[in-house]
Amino acid sequence: MFENLSQKLTDSFKKLQGRGRLNEENITTALNEVKMALLEADVNFRVVKAFLKSVKARAIGEELQGSLSPGQQFIKIVNDELAQMMGESNVSLVSAEKPPTIIMLVGLQGSGKTSSIGKLAKFCQSSGDRPYLIPADIYRPAAIDQLIVLANTLGLPFYPSSTQQDPVDIVKAGLAEAAIQGSNYVLIDTAGRLHIDDVLMEELERIKTAVNPHEIFFVADAMTGQDAVNMAKSFNDRLDVSGIILTKMDGDARGGAALSIRAITQKPIKFITVGEKLENLEPFYPDRVASRILGMGDLVGLIEKAQSNISEKKARELEDKIRKNEFTLEDFQAQLRSMRQMGSLKDLMGMLPGMDASMMKNTDVDEKQLVRTDAIISSMTAQERQNHHLINGSRRARIAKGSGSHVRDVNRLLKQFAQMRKMMNKLSKTSNPRKAMQMMQNLMPH
C-alpha cells in the first residue's frame, strides 16, 4: 500500500534534468506525493497543509546542486523541515529544586499510561533515583492492581489506593507518604479519559491544583489518527502539559500523530515506548521519526533490530571469521536463525534505505525456504558443518534423507554456500567497513 516516497519523488523530478531552479511548477507533483505520504502516516490534514506551505516556500528558488538529484534535494528539504518541526531531541526529565519531583501522566483510555508509569519508574530507578508510585485510576477495574503489580516487580513503594477514595485525596495522601519514604520522584497514574469528558477533565485540573506537578505528560498512542490534534489540544489547553510520551512505537505505525501533536501543542516529545518490557522506554529522536513518517526506510531501526538479536561480540567473531575465510555452515545457520527472529525478509528489506518498495509489493517471499535450509544444515554432523569439503556423495544422501529433502537440494545449498564464501572473501579483501558505511549513507535520503 505504501510505496516508497523517495522513489516517487525521484520519478516526479524525472523531467528536471541537470541544473536549474526548483519552481512552483516543477515541485507540484512532488508536493502532492509528500502530501499523500504524510496523510498515509496519519499526520493531521491541517498540519500537512501548513507543512507543505513552508516546504514550498523554502524549495522555490532553491538552486539545484550538481551533487544531488533534484529528487534528493527536495527530500532533504522535506526531511530538514520535518525534523525542525519535531523540535529538540531528547529533552530529559526535569528535576525539582526541592524534591520530590512530581510527574503526572494523562491521556485517553488504552494509550498506555499505566505501562508507561512502570517504564518511567524503571528509567528513574536505573539512574539511581527513588520513585514512588501513586495509582489514581479508580474507574477502570483492576487498574490500581495493575500498577501495584508493576511496583512490586520493580521493588518500589506505592500508595495503596482504594477505589472508594477521591483521586485528589489519593494523590495528596500519596504525596505525604512519599515524603516520609524519602522518595525523590513521585509518579501519578490517572484514569484514561476522553478529552471531551468534562467531569473527568475537571478532576485532572483539581489534581493539578492540589499537587502542582512539575511534569504533566500527555501519553499518546503512536497509532492515533487524525483526531490526535483534538485530543492533544484539549489536554494541553486544560492542563498545560509539559511533554509527550509516544507509546507503541514498536509497531509499524508511521507515527504521524507525533507531528500533529507536536505542531498543535508545541510541547516536546520526551519519550517513546518500544515494547512491553519495563526497560522499553527510550528518549525521543526527531530525525528518526521524521524519516519514519515519510516512510523512507528506517536504517536505525534496522540496526537496532540487528543489535537486539546479534550481540556485538558475535558480530566481531563473525567479522574475524570472514576475514580469515573460516565462515562455516554452522555460522551460516546461526545467521539464518537470527535473521528469522528479526522478522520476515520482506519487512527487513523494506527497512533498507534506497529500496524501491514498489518492487517489494508483489513479492511474496516463502519463509519456509529458510526453515528447509535450516533443516538441511541441522541434518549434518558437527564435523560436516565445520568443514563442508567433507561432504561426499553418501553423506549428501544421508543429509537429504535426514532433512526430508532431495540430494539436489543439498547439492544446491552446498554450491550456494561455496559461492557465498567466495563473495565474503571479496568483502574481506575490501575489508573496509568504513566504505560499506559510506555506501550505506549514500543510500540514505540525505
Partner 1 sequence: MDLLSILPIINKYLDQFFGTQVPEEYVSYLKEGEEFIPYFLGGAALMILIMIFLIIRVSRKRSVHKGAKKTPLSEKAAEKQLAQLEKAHLKRQKEEDQQRKKAEAKKNEARLAKLEEEEKRLQEELAKKEEERRKSQILQKELPSQEDAPAEPVNFIDRLKKGMEKTRNNLVGGISNLVLGKKEIDEELLDDLEELLITADIGPETTERILSAITEKFKREDLKDPGILHEMVQTEIVRIMGKNYPAPTTEEKHPLVYLFVGVNGVGKTTTIGKIAAQFKAEGKKVLIGAGDTFRAAAIEQLAEWSQRAECDIFAKDAGSDPSSVMYETVQKAINENYDVVICDTAGRLQTKKNLMEELKKMIRVMGKLIPDAPHETYLVLDATTGQNAIFQVRDFREIAELTGLIITKLDGTAKGGVVIGIVNEFDIPVRYIGVGETVGDLRPFNAQEFTQSLFA
Instruction: Give the DSSP per-residue string, 346-361.
Output: HHHHHHSTT--HHHHH
Task: Name the grid cell of 376.
Answer: 538441511
Q: Which is nearer to partner 1, 127 or 419 (CB)?
A: 419
Residue 60: φ, ψ to 5°: -65, 130
Strand-pairing partners, residue 105, are: 189, 217
Question: Shortest gap between Cβ of 168 and partner 1 (angstroms)?
Answer: 21
Question: Shortest gap between Cβ of 327 and partner 1 (angstroms)?
Answer: 9
Residue 33: φ, ψ to 5°: -65, -40
Question: What are the start-end ranges of the H helices in 343-406?
Answer: 345-351, 357-361, 368-378, 382-386, 393-403
- CA atoms in the 13 A half-sphere facing the CB of 332: 27
Question: Shortest gap between Cβ of 415 and partner 1 (angstroms)?
Answer: 8
Q: Which is nearer to partner 1, 96 or 148 (CB)?
A: 148
Strand-pairing partners, residue 96, are: none
Whole-number CA gyration radius for the chain: 27
Q: Which is nearer to partner 1, 64 or 257 (CB)?
A: 257
Q: Which is nearer to partner 1, 102 or 134 (CB)?
A: 134
Say whether the peptide bond before residue 157 is cis (omega within 30 degrees of 0).
no
Question: Shortest gap between Cβ of 223 and partner 1 (angstroms)?
Answer: 4
Q: Which is nearer to partner 1, 193 or 270 (CB)?
A: 193
Say which amino acid occupies 11. D
- Angle between helix 70-86 and 24-40 (nearest 10): 50
Question: Shortest gap between Cβ of 132 and partner 1 (angstroms)?
Answer: 18
Whole-angstrom Cα distance, residue 132 to residue 161? 13
Question: Shortest gap between Cβ of 98 and partner 1 (angstroms)?
Answer: 28
Q: Which is nearer to partner 1, 173 or 339 (CB)?
A: 339
| Cα end-to-end distance, the chain, whole Å | 24
Q: Which is nearer to partner 1, 181 or 230 (CB)?
A: 230
Q: Which is nearer to partner 1, 168 or 310 (CB)?
A: 310
SS3 of 138, please? coil
Question: Shortest gap between Cβ of 2 and partner 1 (angstroms)?
Answer: 9
State whether the Cα torsion 278-279-283-287 is positive or negative.
negative
Task: Name the grid cell of 48.
Answer: 500537512
Question: Shortest gap between Cβ of 292 and partner 1 (angstroms)?
Answer: 12
